[in-house]
Structures are given as C-alpha cells and as structure tokens.
Structure 1
C-alpha cells in the first residue's frame, strides 16, 4: 500500500512539473528560452497545451518582426520628408527575416495541434484565424529575404526563405483563408526558384517537391516543366529508373498534351523497346493533329531505327513539308544513303545520292554550325561518292583537314 501511495505522489509531482514547464513557456519573454523550454516538455503535453505553447513562440517572433517593421516605416517617412541624414534608425533585417521564418514555422505547428479534437472530441481552433490574419501579409518579406541572400551568393539561405514561403503558402494554416483580396501571385515562381536552387545543390527530392508545386502555376509552368523533364531524364540510370520515369511522363501527358512531353514520352517508349505503345501514342497524336510536325518526325525516327528506309523517308518528308528542319533533313539523307548502299545499279545509286545531296545542303543552309544536326560527314561522304576525292566540294568538307 505504501508503494502505491508513493507512486501516486510521484505521478502527481511529475504532472505538476510538466504543468509548470508549460506555464514557464507561456510566461517567457525570450524566444530562444521559450523554444528550449518547450522542447524539454513537448512530449508530455496534450494537443491543447502544445497549441498554446507554439502560439506563444509565434507571438514572441512577431514582436521582433513588428518592431523592425515599425522602424522601417518610420525611416521611410523620414526619407519622404527629406530628413534622412543622420536620423535613420538601424534596422535588423536579418533578425526580422529569421523571426518571420520562425513565426511561420511555429504557426504551422500550432495549427496542427490547434485543429485537433479537444478532450470532449470537438474541434475548436483558438489561434487559427488570428495567425492567418497576422502572417499572410508578412510572408512577402521572405521573398526580399531570399533575394538578399542570392545577392550575397548565399543559396542555402535563399532556399530556406523561399521554402518557408512556399511551405506556409501551401499549408493547412491558410487552406481556408480568403485570398481573393490578397492573392498569392508569387507562389509558383518562388517554388520554381526554390526547385532550381535545390537542383543545383543536387538535392533532387527537394527539387522535385518545389518544381511540382510550380507546375500547378500557369505563369511558371513552362520554365518549371523544362527543369522537371531534365530531372526526370537524368534520373534514368537503371531499367527500374526508366520505368519510374516513364510513369511520370505518362502522368504528365495525361494532363498536358504539349509536343515537348509527347516527344519525350514517344522516344522513351522506343528506348524501352515498347514499340506497340510508341506507335499507339504517335497514331493517336496524328489522329488528333494530322499536321503535327513532331509526331511525323518521331514516327520516322522509329522506322529509321528499324532500318525501314522507305517508310521513314515518307514520314520525314511529311514532317519537313510542315516545317523545314535541319535534323529531319539530315535523317532523310541518312536513310537515302543506306538505301543507295544496298543497290547494285550505279545509276540508281547516283540518282538517290543526288537527292541526298539536296537534303543535306538544305540542312547545311539551315544549320551552318551544326548546332541541331551533324550533317557534315554525311554530306562529305555523298560528295565523295558522287564527285570523287579531288572535287572542291569534297575537299572543303574533308574531316582530315
């Protein structure tokens, strides 16, 4: 009986100690101290007390933010009045940005517990609306914070500010906030930049996370898509990686039938030897758009890879009729040269090679620096067979010189 009594006393004392810890957090006037005290007792708190404690951290951070912003406003007034010389007060911008970051992160934690059922099973948030109203207009300062870091070449700092901006903007804290009067017009672009920074740091999980958010924004979509496609292609190191990437391309194509995604999807089908799926997506594309340059070009490439020279040429010609392209013209020359190589009749060979000459010279005119297509060797070989090694045209393209 004595042991049970002593145990009850210990439990009561422990509960009292935890309660005192919560009170000390709520009474604290210093953020770092309150944060430390909360860390020491967090695991013992119920959801209601956790929400109260995190809200206290938000309040302490906002005191710093509001103090520095008040000084900035005062300085702006002084500048407008032409009285800035020697009278402007110092502003702790870095401290303000850090405090704003803390306020947003702590507000999201507060909200997580604030919206949990209480002891009676009811959900009655106490801090949700208040924190929404206070923090939504302040988030824009994190964009300035990120820009300041980029100017100092502090990419890590910039990423942290941009990530906080995006994470808070897409969090449950603001999911029911009326944004009609104050829309977040920067979310997509900030997410894209955060994705770029993460990509440069080779943090692919974070890069994908923020680029995927940017893809939901109309203004940032095109640039974000380019990076997303590049990341997907770079991730293909194994067969399993390629199949995972293929699924991502299929999901993207289901939402966006742009030529860029179509080209990558159809090409990947071919690389994975999924010829039936490749031809199906190409035929579906042509059925919806018979004048799709990319579809005819990809179809011709697939046939060329199977040494179906006549079929490939026919499709390349359809593509080139829609839009002249140096790479397509070079592929046409390649197909023709292979056809000619299989002929025994010299006159027929020259006839085909003369046709090849026209394709490749046009490719040269369109792409003189070979930025799109490697037409030079094919044209040299064509000149060599038609006119011999001593012809001036052949000599001009001689790779040995």
Structure 2
C-alpha cells in the first residue's frame, strides 16, 4: 500500500513539474505578445523547479524589456502617447529579473552545475544600456510626488553598480552620476521618512561635489530626530557639511548654534574666521557678530555688524537690530539690578540714567530695522516698546496700537 501511495505521489509531482515546464513553453510561444507572455510566466517564477532555472528569469526579463521597448518607441513617434507608469515599471522589473537570473546562474557555476554563465554578458549589456532611463523614471515619479517609486528607480540606478555582474566594470564604478543620483534617492527617502534609505544613499550622495550638500542635509535631519536620532552622528555630519560646503548656510548656522548652546564660542569664532578668510559674506559676518555678542564683546560685535551695513547687501536690517541688542540687553542687566533697589537709593537714580543712555543709543538702530523690515516685528517690536515706555510715552502709545496690543 505504501509503495502504491509513494508511486502516486511521484506521478503527481512529475505532473506538477511538467505543468510548470509547459507554462514556460507557453510563455515562449507568446513572446510576440510580451504583456501576455509576462503574465503567462508569472507562475513559473514562484515554482521551486522553474524558479531555480536562470532561463526562466531571463525570459521574464526579456518580456519586460519588450514591454518597455514598445512603450519607449511611442515617445519618439509623432503624436505618440506612452504609458510612462507601464514604461518605467517594466524597466524596473527587467532589472529585477535579469539580476535574479545572474544570481541563480552564478550559484550554478559555483556549484559546478554549469561550466560558465550563459546569460551574464547579454543581461549586463542591456542593464548598462538602459541604466540612465532609470533616472527618467525617478524624476517622473518624484515630480508626481510618488516618492516610493522615485526611491526605487534612483536606488536601482545606484545599487546596480555593486552587482557581481559589474564587479570588473571600472567605468561604471567611477561614474560621477552614482553620487548625484544617490542624492536624489536620499531626497526621496527623506520625504518617505525612510531613515535606513536616507543613511544608505546619503553616505554615497554626500560625495558629489555640487549636490552633495542635499544628501548631508537629509542625513543631519535624520540623525537630529528626537526619537531614534544620534546626536554624535548629527554633529559629525554638520561638521562635514561645513568643511565640504562652506557656502551652505544650513551647516554654518547649525554648527554655530551648537557652539553657542555648548558655551564653545571661542571654537565657533575660530571656525567662522577661517570661513571669512576665504569669503567675507554678509552671513558669515552676521554669524561672527552673534558670536562676539555672546562673548559680550559689544564694541567688536558692533564693528562687525557695521561692516554688513556698509556693504548694503543682505542682512542689513538684522545687523541694525543686533546693534540695538548690543545696547538694549546690557541695559536689561541694570534694569534687573534696579528692581532690587529702593527708589531713594542713590544707586537707583544713577542706574536709571545709565538705562536711559543705553536706550537712547539702541533706539535709532531698532527704528532703522523697523524702517527696512516693517513686517518683521521680531527685529524691533518689543524692544522699541520697552524703550518708548522709558523715554517717550506718546511713542509708546502709538506703537502699542500699531502692534495691536
């Protein structure tokens, strides 16, 4: 009885395998109709017998390439309307299937089942020829807001360089476009909050000389997250960004904020002076002025902010406001001291005179900031209100109305 059952089982298995082989044959017969052929071969991709045959995956890739070629041709025909979703999906599937074909074929070569690979060269040539079209797919998806597909296409463009079939292809490995499109893969991953992909592609993309700052910004954002972030890595990325892309204010601003928060103002001044030695931009001058202000070196800070004003470029209103701060905030220390003194204390009246003197000095700078940027009330609003309260109640009442208090 057992022997009979075992024989029946063998017969069923043989029939099943035969069925899968016929699926492949059917798909081959439909190669002139690639969409039908692609559907017909699908069961063979999951069956253990046919799925372990590199030819199965080669055929599946060929069908996807044929679908891609048909749609791609429409782009060049007068009035042709290509289905770009189908176009790029087929391209991605072709990549997946050819790479799977190579993986299985190489395993068989390693085991001795095959003497040499049959499909590698042809597959590699096809993948390399169509590689740039993955970029078109990535750009098309990104512009549509489909960041998952954008990541898929840009990621394939970058990842294929490390596939075994291209191990000896130095031209591909040194292609500067790898880092460029890794940047765009990083941007797509960042939009998806896919931290692993940001880190993977960001560390490749950061090496691009022009666009690498984008990858570093995404890395900094990922490492800087409150949950799951890494403060040490964040600082490392910010420092790297400052060194590689000193003209990008994002990195300079972040590193200077860090130095201020940690009380490392001297370190910040050393770094900003190095940057100023190469390019005296309004932003670098502004950062230096802030650092000097933090050190309470008000005269030096004022001189630095005056440089910005004399250049009459960016950050002029902000420079006027910060000069006002150099007088206003020292006055606040005296205000706090007076709050602890009796009104009849001689020191009280002496302090009041100092407060008014400092307020008089701050006033025109805040007023100039108001003139230049009337909508940016953070630069002048509450400061002028405090000053007018002390110096001129009529101006105080007028400004209070203007601010809507």
User: TM-score under structure 2 normalisation?
Assistant: 0.68
Structure 1 distance, partners of 2:303, 2:99, is 57
- CA distance in 1: counterparts of 2:184 and 2:284, whole angstroms: 32
Find 1:39's aligned residue among 23, 29, 46.
46
State which drifts further: 119-128 or 361-370.
119-128
Q: How far did 1:264 drift? A: 0.9
Task: Tell me how far apart the structure 2 counterparts of residues 369 and 166 of structure 1 sit (CA, whole Å).
Answer: 44
Following the alignment from structure 1 to structure 2, what is the Cα–Cα distance between the partners of residues 145 and 44?
Answer: 28
What is the deviation of 1:143?
5.0
Partners in 1 of 2:237 and 2:22 — Cα distance? 50
Asked whether 1:262 is paired with 2:252, we answer yes
> Secondary structure at the residue paired with 1:289?
helix
Tell me if structure 1 keeps the 8 A contact 2:293–2:301. no
CA distance in 2, matches of 1:375, 1:123: 80
Q: Looking at secondary structure, tell me which structure has more helix per residue.
A: 2
CA drift of 1:356 comes to 1.0
The CA deviation at 1:142 is 4.6
Residues 296 and 318 in structure 1, CA contact (< 8 A), matched pair in contact too: no
CA change 1:390–1:63 in 2 (3 A) is closer
Cα 1:42–1:139 shift into 2, 3 Å:
farther
User: In structure 2, what is the Cα distance between the partners aligned to 1:92 and 1:296?
Assistant: 53
Change (3 A) 1:376 1:162: same
Shift of 1:178: 7.3
Structure 1 residue 219: Cα displacement: 4.8
- Structure 1 vs Structure 2 CA RMSD: 4.6
Q: 1:103 aligns with which of 90, 94, 97?
A: 94
- CA-to-aligned-CA distance 1:74-95 (integer Å, 9 cap, x gap): xx2xx4xxxx7xxx7x866544
Q: How many angstroms apart in 1 are the aligned matches of 2:251 and 2:141?
A: 34
Contact 1:24/1:37 (8 A) holds in 2: no
Aligned equivalents of 1:323, 1:230: Cα separation in 2: 30
| 1:331 matched residue in structure 2 | 322
- SS at the partner of 2:47? helix
Task: Please say if residues 267 and 298 of structure 1, whose CA atoms lie closer than 8 Å, have aligned partners that are also in contact.
Answer: no
> Residues 178 and 19 (structure 1 numbering): CA distance in 2 closer, same or farther, change over 3 Å?
farther
**Partners of 2:241 and 2:16 in 1: how far apart?**
51
- Say if 2:375 is the partner of 1:390: no
> Displacement, 1:222?
5.0
Residues 1:282 and 2:274 are matched in the alignment: no
Instruction: Tell me whether 1:138 sits opposite 2:93 in the alignment.
Output: no
Aligned to 1:119: 111
Structure 2 residue aligned with 1:60: 63
Partner of residue 302, structure 2: 317
Aligned match of 2:375 in 355, 364, 369?
Answer: 369
Q: How far did 1:102 drift?
A: 0.5
Whole-angstrom distance in 1 between the partners of 2:124 and 2:393: 78
Gaps of 5+ in 1: none
- C-alpha change, 1:110 and 1:100, in structure 2 (3 Å) is same
Deviation digits for residues 29-63 of structure 1 (CA, Å, limit 9, x no counterpart): 33344343232317994xxx4x4443232122123
Contact kept, 8 Å, 2:106 with 2:117, in 1: the verdict is yes
| Maintained 8 Å contact 2:223/2:230 | no
Q: CA deviation at 1:184?
A: 8.0
In the TM superposition, 1:1-400 aligns within 5 A as: 27=25, 28-29=27-28, 30-41=37-48, 45=52, 49=53, 51-70=54-73, 76=77, 79=78, 94-114=85-105, 118-119=110-111, 125-142=117-134, 145=137, 155-156=145-146, 159-160=148-149, 163-171=152-160, 172-173=162-163, 177=169, 194-207=185-198, 209-210=200-201, 213-221=204-212, 229-230=220-221, 232-233=223-224, 235-237=225-227, 241-258=230-247, 259-271=249-261, 273=262, 275-276=263-264, 279-287=266-274, 289-290=276-277, 291=280, 294=283, 297-298=286-287, 301=290, 308=295, 310-311=296-297, 313-324=298-309, 325=315, 326-343=317-334, 344-370=350-376, 373-386=378-391, 388-391=392-395, 395-398=398-401, 399-400=403-404
Q: Pick closer, same or farther for the CA change 1:264–1:18 going to 2, 3 Å.
A: farther
In the TM superposition, residue 160 of structure 1 has moved relative to its aligned partner by: 1.4
Runs of 5+ consecutive residues of structure 2 not aligned to the other structure: 29-36, 310-314, 335-349
Structure 2 distance, partners of 1:385, 1:99, is 74
